[in-house]
């Protein structure tokens, strides 16, 4: 049976997206922490180390690290390796600017602990619909 | 956040692509920081100029913005990865130079002044007390807030550019009067010269993080000394603003003195030297982080009279200061001694390792910090006089 959950967040970058959730309880640094050509997390010891964020609905508490991270998100998008959407607990400027310049839907003010890897997620602006097996 | 009718039209794309993108960025930042509105600014300063940091991706984004984006307020540019006129003399290769010039060109098309300096306030981007501005470059931000009394948050290159294109910035943080209050009092003995002010900046920056310190006990300070203090505070600690009792314009405005207190001795301040005392023979000695003022350059020139520079000695400043130095005969003195005036750049943002440099000496606390932590160089932090001695003996 599929459980359906619905959340409402704050729109950082409006848009619609649908895909599989990739969830991290740790913050993500795009500059240095994500391979800009493949979308694979490469930060040593990160809980998502070795996983690809490409095409995923990427869910993490907030960004960290250098502001150059915004350009890394942009590069991922140009290469087709960006997440299809971003959900944050509390978005900060690096991720916000990255999402906006790359046209990636982004929502924050959502409890990111509520999501599980493999959830199927639909985002329609601030509305988040979660389908879970 | 409240948006005026015109601001809404900007956000909906009625003023073109760049204005819309810029507005989206500002509105998102406004949301993140709970700003109630946007305020107009009088000036912007943009970092993110060196091709080392911008890269192809940044350049592609900037090209998109430049398709129809033009700045609405006075906007200056941070240092680039090379001396724009004498890059080949610096040892920069043609490929890097061509890429760097593409970055410069895209900024130029948007109407930005190609000042290429971290000291915009020395080259005509000089806001007034109380002006709202949007500057990136942490050392310029702290100088503008503290010494000039203009109001800016610590912007990124992109958010400062978004403000330059729209003329607006979200009203939060240091734009709001009550957030400019000092949050920690620091009692110190009088530091002597730029170098000691810089050392003070490192020590306090580390202790106070991103707080706003109020310094007591400093009886006199030159603008160049405050420049050195701020640069160190901002790079090591993330300090956006400081006050010096009796000296900076807003120090006496806030009478609440119930804050945390620190007391430092002269040896506390100078202890930082030992941390940057790598046992190396520096391949490059550089002065001018932040970029040298004409006064500093003149003093260095005087100390080089009848000396012979035996190592690579770079004196970094803006093109404008160099032009003034040319006219005053300062450049001639410096070059006769064998030093080089390097404009538009500095060893922090130039592709320094590609130039074959792995060890440096500098009088700059900020320069030492970034050279070690960003560029993995071995670093010796020396006073200006010691740097000159190191280069000439």
A3 Cα to chain B: minimum distance (Å) = 31
Q: What angle do CA B54, A52, A83 make, to 5 degrees?
A: 65
Specify the number of domains making up chain A.
1
> Which tokens belong to B285?
């000695």
Distance from CA of B314 to the nearest CA of A (A): 27
A72 CB neighbours in chain B (<8 A) are: 57
Cα angle for residues B222, B191, B318 (degrees, 5° grid)? 40
pLDDT tens readout for residues B237-271 = 889 999 999 999 999 998 777 899 999 999 999 99
CA B318 to chain centre: 12
Q: What pLDDT, in 10s, does the model give residues A57-111?
A: 999 999 987 778 898 999 999 999 999 999 999 998 999 999 999 999 999 999 9
Q: Minimal Cα–Cα distance from A51 to chain B, Å?
A: 23
Q: Which residues of B touch A86 (CB under 8 A)?
A: none
Provide the strand spans (E) within B245-358: 260-263, 284-292, 312-317, 340-343
Return the CATH number of B5-177, one of 3.10.129, 3.30.499, 1.10.10, 1.10.287: 3.30.499
**pLDDT at residue A55, rounded to an integer:** 97
Minimum CA–CA partner of A10 in chain B: B31
For A109, nearest residue in chain B (alpha carbons): B32
Interval B315-332: pLDDT, tens: 999 999 999 999 999 999
From A13, A75, A93, residue closest to B159, measured CB to CB:
A93
The pTM of the full predicted model, rounded to 2 decimals, is: 0.92
Whether residues A100 and B156 touch (CB distance < 8 A) is answered with no
| Residues spanned by the domain of A68 | 2-132
**Tokens 């100029």 appear where?**
B49
Strand, helix or coil at B160?
helix
What's the Cα-to-Cα distance from B376 to each of B199, B227, B359, rounded to whole Å? Answer: 20, 25, 9
Residues 6 or more apart whose CB falls under 8 angstroms from that of B61 comprise A71, A74, A101
| Distance (Å, whole) CA B143 – CA B131 | 14
Under DSSP, the state recorded for B177 is G
What is the C-alpha R_g of chain A? 13
Joined together, the tokens standing for residue A60 give: 């993490």
Instruction: Output phi, psi for A6, to 5 deg.
Output: -135, 135
| CATH 3.30.499.10 domain position(s) in chain B | 277-392
What is the average per-residue pLDDT within B180-190?
97
Checking ipTM against 0.85, whether it exceeds it is no
Q: What's the rounded mean pLDDT across residues B223-236?
A: 95
Cβ-Cβ contacts under 8 Å between A and B: the total is 58
Nearest-CA residue of chain A relative to B25? A97
In A, which residues are within 8 Å of B21 by CB distance? 100-101
Nearest Cβ partner of A91 from B21, B32, B48?
A: B32
Per-residue pLDDT band at B370 (split at 50, 70, 90)? confident
Closest CA of chain A from B239, distance in Å: 16
Residues of B with CB under 8 A from a CB of A: 21, 24-25, 28-29, 31-32, 48, 53-58, 60-61, 156-159
pLDDT of residue B57: 87
DSSP E strands, chain B: 38-40, 43-46, 74-77, 133-135, 168-170, 184-187, 213-216, 243-244, 260-263, 284-292, 312-317, 340-343, 359-362, 378-381
Lateral strand order in the sheet of B378-381: B340-343, B312-317, B284-292, B359-362, B378-381
- Quick check: A107 and A12 in contact, CB under 8 A? yes
Q: What are B278-319's pLDDT values in tens digits?
A: 888 999 999 999 999 999 999 999 999 999 999 999 999 999
Q: Do A101 and B158 make contact, defined as CB atoms within 8 angstroms?
A: yes
Per-residue model confidence (pLDDT) at position B108:
98
The answer to whether residue A31 neighbours chain B at the CB level (below 8 Å) is no
A101 in B contact zone (CB under 8 Å): yes
CATH at A30: 3.50.30.10
Just list the catalytic residues of A.
66
- Percent of chain A past pLDDT 70, that is, above it, reads 99
CA–CA min distance B179, chain A (Å): 20
Q: Which residues of B touch A12 (CB under 8 A)?
A: 28, 31-32
- Is the CATH code 2.40.50.100 the one for domain B277-392? no
Q: What is the pLDDT of residue B279?
A: 82
* Residue in B29, B32, B55 nearest the CB of A71: B55
User: Which of B53, B56, B61 lies at the smallest CB-CB distance from A101?
Assistant: B61
Q: Using CB atoms, which residue from B21, B58, B60 is nearest to A100?
A: B21
């Amino acid at each position: 049976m599929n459980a359906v959950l619905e959340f409402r967040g704050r729109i950082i970058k409006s848009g619609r997206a649908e895909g599989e959730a990739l969830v991290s309880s740790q913050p993500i640094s795009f500059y240095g922490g994500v391979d800009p050509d493949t979308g694979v997390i490469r930060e040593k010891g990160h809980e998502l180390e070795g996983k690809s964020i490409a095409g995923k609905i990427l869910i993490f508490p907030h960004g960290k690290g250098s502001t150059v991270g915004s350009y890394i998100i942009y590069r991922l998008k140009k290469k087709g390796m960006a997440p299809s959407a971003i959900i944050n607990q509390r978005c900060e400027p690096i991720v916000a600017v990255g999402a906006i310049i790359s046209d990636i839907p982004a929502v924050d003010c959502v409890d990111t602990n509520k999501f599980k890897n493999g959830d199927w997620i639909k985002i329609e602006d601030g509305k988040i619909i979660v389908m879970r097996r | 956040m409240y948006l005026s009718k015109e601001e809404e039209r900007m956000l909906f794309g009625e003023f073109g692509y760049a204005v819309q993108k810029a507005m989206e960025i500002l509105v998102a930042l406004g949301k993140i920081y709970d700003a109630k509105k946007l305020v107009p600014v009088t000036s912007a300063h943009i970092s993110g100029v060196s091709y080392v940091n911008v890269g192809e991706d940044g350049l592609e984004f900037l090209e998109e913005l430049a398709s129809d984006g033009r700045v609405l307020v006075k906007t200056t540019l941070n240092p680039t990865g090379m001396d724009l006129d004498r890059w080949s003399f610096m040892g920069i290769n043609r490929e890097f130079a061509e890429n760097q010039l593409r970055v410069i060109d895209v900024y130029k098309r948007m109407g930005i002044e190609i000042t290429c300096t971290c000291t915009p306030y020395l080259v005509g981007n000089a806001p007034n007390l109380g002006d709202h501005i949007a500057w990136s470059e942490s050392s310029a931000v702290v100088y503008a807030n503290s010494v000039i009394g203009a109001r800016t948050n610590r912007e990124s290159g992109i958010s400062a550019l978004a403000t330059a294109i729209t003329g607006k910035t979200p009203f939060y943080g240091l734009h709001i009067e009550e957030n400019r209050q000092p949050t920690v009092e620091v009692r110190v003995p009088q530091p002597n010269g730029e170098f000691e002010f810089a050392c003070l900046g490192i020590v306090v920056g580390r202790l106070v993080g991103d707080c706003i310190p109020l310094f007591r006990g400093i009886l006199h300070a030159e603008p160049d000394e405050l420049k050195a203090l701020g640069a160190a505070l901002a790079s090591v600690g993330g300090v956006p603003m400081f006050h010096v009792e009796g000296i900076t314009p807003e120090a006496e405005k806030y009478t609440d003195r119930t804050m945390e207190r620190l007391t430092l001795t002269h040896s506390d301040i100078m202890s930082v030297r030992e941390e940057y005392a790598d046992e190396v023979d520096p391949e490059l000695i550089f002065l001018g982080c932040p970029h040298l003022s004409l006064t500093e350059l003149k003093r260095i020139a005087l100390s080089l009279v009848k000396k012979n520079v035996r190592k690579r000695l770079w004196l970094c400043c803006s093109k404008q200061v160099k032009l003034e130095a040319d006219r005053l005969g300062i450049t001639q003195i410096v070059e006769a001694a064998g030093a080089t005036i390097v404009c538009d750049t500095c060893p922090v943002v130039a592709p320094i390792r590609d130039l074959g440099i792995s060890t440096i000496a500098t009088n700059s606390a900020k320069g030492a910090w970034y050279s070690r932590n960003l560029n993995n160089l071995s670093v010796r932090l020396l006073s200006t006089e010691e740097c000159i001695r190191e280069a000439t003996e």
